[in-house]
Chain A
Amino acid sequence: MKIKKKNALIGGLLAIVFVMAIGYAAFAQQLTINGNAKITSKWDVQIESIAATGKTGTGADVPYAAGTAEDGTQKVSATQAQFKADLKSPGDSVTYTVTVKNYGSIAAQLNTATPTPQENDAPITYTTTANDLLNQELSAGATQTFTVTATYDDVTAQPETTEKSYTLTLDYGQFGV
C-alpha cells in the first residue's frame, strides 16, 4: 500500500476513533459500568485472607468445605471473601478479620465501603470497621485489615428465618497524588 493511501487509512481510522469518543461522551450515562477494574498492569489490590477472630455466646464460624455444593468457589479469592456464621441465640456474634493487600506498585486508598442491603435490620445485624480505612493510604506491598461482625440481636419475638446475606463492596482507587 502506498504511503499516501496509508495516511488516508490512518486518517479514516482516527475519524472512527473520534466518532467513538463523541459517542462515548454523549452516551456515557447509558453505558453499562460493571464496577472497578480489579487488576491492571500495575494495579493489583486483593483480599488476602479472612479469618474468624472473635465470637460471643454460642456463635460459631462454619467453614466452607472444599468442593461442597455451598458455593463451589473458594472462601477467599482475589476480590471476594465469604463467610458463614452460625448464630443460635440472641446475643451471639462472630467477628471476622479481613486483610486486603496491595500487590501492585501504585499506592491505593479505600474510597467507599458500601453494604448491601443498606438497611441493617434485626435480628441479624452486621457492623464493619472498613469505614475507618476510608481515604487512608495503602502503599505498595502494604496490608490493611478491617473487621465484619455478624450479631444476632436481642429480640423478644423469634424471627421467621435466621439466614441473612450481606455484601460489603470495597471500592479501592489510586491514593491521591
Chain B
Amino acid sequence: MAKLLLFYGLLIGYLLTDVLFLTQMEIPFYNEIVNPAIWVVMCGIAFWLGKNDSQRITEKNDKFQSLLIVLIIYIICYFALGLVFGFQKTPYSKDLLSILSNLWIFGGIIVFQEFMRNAMIRADKKSFLNFSLITVIFILLNINFNSFLDSFDTFKDGFIYISSIIIPLVVTQAILTYLSYIGGMKFPIVYRLVLIIPELLIPIIPDLDWFATAIIGVILPVATFVYLNYVHIRKTERLSKRASKKFSPVIYIPVFAFIVLAAGFVMGLFKYQPIAVLSGSMSPTFNRGDAVVVRKLDAGEKKRLERGDIIQFQSGARYVIHRIEEVSNDEYGNIEYITKGDHNNTTDSKPVSADEVIGKASFVIPFIGYPSVWLSGAI
C-alpha cells in the first residue's frame, strides 16, 4: 500500500511541477532531455520498488494478435476516411533527424508512462479503486493544461473540446489501463504507438472534423475493449461456448454499425442529411425543434429548382431553409432564387444563387432537432 501511495505521490508531484513550473520556464531541451530524465528517475524508482511484483498473463500471444487486428483495422478505416474528409498536412518535420527526435519525444514518454502504469497495476491487481485512480491520473497527465482554460472561452468551444478531446481521452486511458491489466505494459505501448506514429512518419493525415474525431476517439477504445475482453474472458475463465457467446463481439456489430451510420448521416456523408430547425420562420410547414432531412443536389439540379421548393442554402456563414418564392435571373443571366420563410411577411433580403444552394428539403421529423436548439441557445 505504501508503495502504491509513493507511485501516486510521484506522479502527482510530477504533474503539479510540470504544469505549474516546468512548462512555464522554457527550459532548453525540455522535451528531448529534461522531461524524459524525470520519467527515467520515476520509472527507476518504480522498477526498484516493484521488482517483486508479478503479473500472471495468460494467452498473451492470442490477446496480442487480437489487439493487432483491431489496430490494423482502425488504421485502414482511419486513412480511408481521408478519402471522404480530405487530408491535412502534419506539422511535424519529416527529415530523418526530426523523425528520430520526435520518436524519442513521443515514443519515449509513452514507454515511460506505460511502465509506470503497469508498475501501479502490479502493485495492486485486484482493486477497482486502483484501476480507476490510475486511469484518472493518466488522464490528467495527458491533458494539455497550457490551453485548457482557453478551450472553454465559449460554450461552443467547451462543448467541442469536451467532445473531441476529453471524452476520447477518458475512454482511451480506461482502455489503456485495462490493456495493461490483461496484457502487461506491451499492450498499451503498442496501442498508443500505433495512434501516434502515422502523425510522425506520414506527411498527411485525414482531416477529420471534431465530430468525426470524437466518434472515432470513442469507438476505437470501446471496440478494442469488446474484442479483447471477449478473448480474455474466454481464455481465462474457460467458459463454455454457450457462456462465452454473451461476450462475443459479434453481438456488438449491429450497435457499432448503427453508430457509424448514424454519425455519417448527421455529418452529411450521405446524400441525405438531417438539419435541425432553429427558428420558426417556416412555421407551420415545420417548426423550431423539428429536423428537416435535406437531399443534397448536384450542380444541374441546383439550376432546375421550381417555385414552391423548400431549399437549404448558405447565407454568409449561416445556413437557411426557406421556400422559393420566385425563380429569376441576375444581370448576367444566371439563375437566382427569391426565397421567403412561410411565416415571414417579406421575402429574404438577398436572392440566392444556384451555387449557394445546398439541398432540397425532403421530409420533416418533428421534435428531434430540439437538442440542437437547446444547445445553440446555450451557445
A interface residues, Cβ below 8 angstroms from B: 3, 6-7, 9-10, 13-14, 16-17, 20, 24, 28, 31-38, 40-46, 48, 69-74, 77-78, 103-106, 108, 139-142, 172-174, 176-177
Contacts and interface: CB of A to CB of B under 8 A. Distances in A.
Contact of B76 (A13, A24, A33, A77): A13
B318 A72 contact: yes
Contacts of A33: 86-89, 204
A41 B68 contact: no
Interface in B16-45: 23-24, 26, 30-31
A140 B26 contact: yes
A103 B149 CA distance: 11
B26 A141 contact: yes
A6 B76 contact: no
B54 interface: no
A46 B147 CA distance: 9
B251 interface: no
Contacts of B317: 71-73
Interface string B87-102: 1111111010110011
Contacts of B205: 37
B144 A103 contact: yes
A174 B93 contact: yes
Nearest to B62: A3
Contact of B72 (A14, A24, A77): A14
Contacts of A41: 106, 196, 199
Nearest to B101: A177
A9 B87 contact: no
A82 to B, nearest CB: 11
A96 to B, nearest CB: 19
A13 B79 CA distance: 13
6 contacts: A20-B80, A32-B86, A42-B105, A71-B316, A104-B146, A174-B93
Judged by DSSP, the binding face of B is helix
B69 to A, nearest CB: 6
B127 interface: no
A38 B204 CA distance: 13
A106 B105 contact: yes
Interface string B31-70: 1000000000000000000000000000001100110110
A141 B146 contact: yes
Given A46-B147, A69-B316, A173 B65 contact: no
A172 B88 CA distance: 13
A140 B66 contact: no
B216 to A, nearest CB: 14
A44 B146 contact: yes
B82 interface: yes
Given A6-B62, A106-B91, 8 more contacts: A10-B68, A28-B204, A36-B90, A74-B154, A104-B144, A106-B92, A174-B91, A177-B101
A16 B153 CA distance: 43
A20 B30 CA distance: 37
A40 B90 contact: yes
B73 interface: yes
Contacts of B80: 20
A35 B316 contact: no
Contacts of B62: 3, 6
A48 B204 CA distance: 26
B70 to A, nearest CB: 10
Contact of A105 (B31, B75, B91): B31
A119 to B, nearest CB: 23
B91 A103 contact: no
B24 A141 contact: yes
B89, B97, B205, B316: most-surrounded residue (chain A CB, <10 A): B89
A177 B101 CA distance: 8
